[in-house]
């Protein structure tokens, strides 16, 4: 009787330790998810800010400035439900304005244009990387949360099920291929 009770206690402690370890892992994944979402938000804000600053700088022709400003402003002001669409529209506007290498060369020829082009190129390249990191974090959290033990013992608590951030983040070819930036 005593031996059986000891084995039951050992098994329950082992299960408790395993569940505690799983809950800790899930908590770390959620923290990583929050950090990746903050990094994504920061990169998207930086991209929109740089685009908006360039649009108001007077370095671009008026039509390109208007297109870029409106898309960047919409991306910065978008509600969470519309953010993916607004960011995709900013990507499309960037491709429309800087789709050809000649358009980037014209910008670089203007005083201050080279720095502006380099800053925009860096922002345009970092946004897709931040999105990929975020979506990888989402996939890791989802994979663990799908396990039965996590669902049965409600180890995720009341945390919402994470969603990927899907947007058109294809950079303009003329900006994406800038060496040395």
pLDDT at position 176: 74
pLDDT < 50 regions, the chain: 178-181
Distance CA 89, CA 69 (A): 12
- The pLDDT tens digits for 28-58 are 999 999 999 999 999 999 999 999 999 999 9
Instruction: Output the average pLDDT for the chain.
Output: 93
Measuring CA to CA, how many Å separate 26 from each of 31, 80, 81, 148, 158?
Answer: 9, 25, 26, 13, 13
Give the whole-angstrom CA distance, residue 153 versus residue 156.
9
Looking at residue 91, what is its pLDDT?
A: 97
Q: b vs e for 93-107, b when ≥16 Cβ sit within 10 Å of the residue's Cβ?
A: bbbebbeeeebbebb
What's the confidence (pLDDT) of residue 177? 61
pLDDT the model gives residue 18: 95
């Amino acid at each position: 009787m005593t031996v059986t009770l000891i084995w039951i206690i050992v098994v329950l402690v082992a299960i408790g330790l395993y569940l505690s370890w799983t809950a800790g892992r899930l908590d770390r994944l959620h923290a990583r998810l929050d950090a990746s979402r903050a990094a994504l938000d920061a990169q998207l804000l930086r991209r929109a800010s740089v685009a908006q600053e360039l649009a108001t700088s007077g370095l671009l022709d008026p039509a390109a400035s208007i297109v870029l400003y409106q898309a960047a402003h919409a991306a910065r002001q978008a509600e969470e439900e519309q953010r993916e669409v607004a960011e995709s529209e900013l990507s499309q506007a960037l491709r429309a304005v800087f789709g050809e290498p000649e358009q980037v060369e014209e910008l670089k020829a203007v005083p201050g244009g080279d720095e502006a082009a380099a800053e925009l190129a860096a922002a345009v390249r970092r946004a897709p990387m931040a999105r990929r990191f975020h979506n990888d974090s989402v996939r890791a959290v989802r994979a663990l949360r799908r396990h039965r033990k996590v669902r049965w013992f409600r180890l995720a608590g009341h945390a919402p099920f994470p969603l990927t951030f899907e947007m058109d983040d294809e950079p303009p070819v003329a900006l994406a291929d800038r060496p040395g930036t």
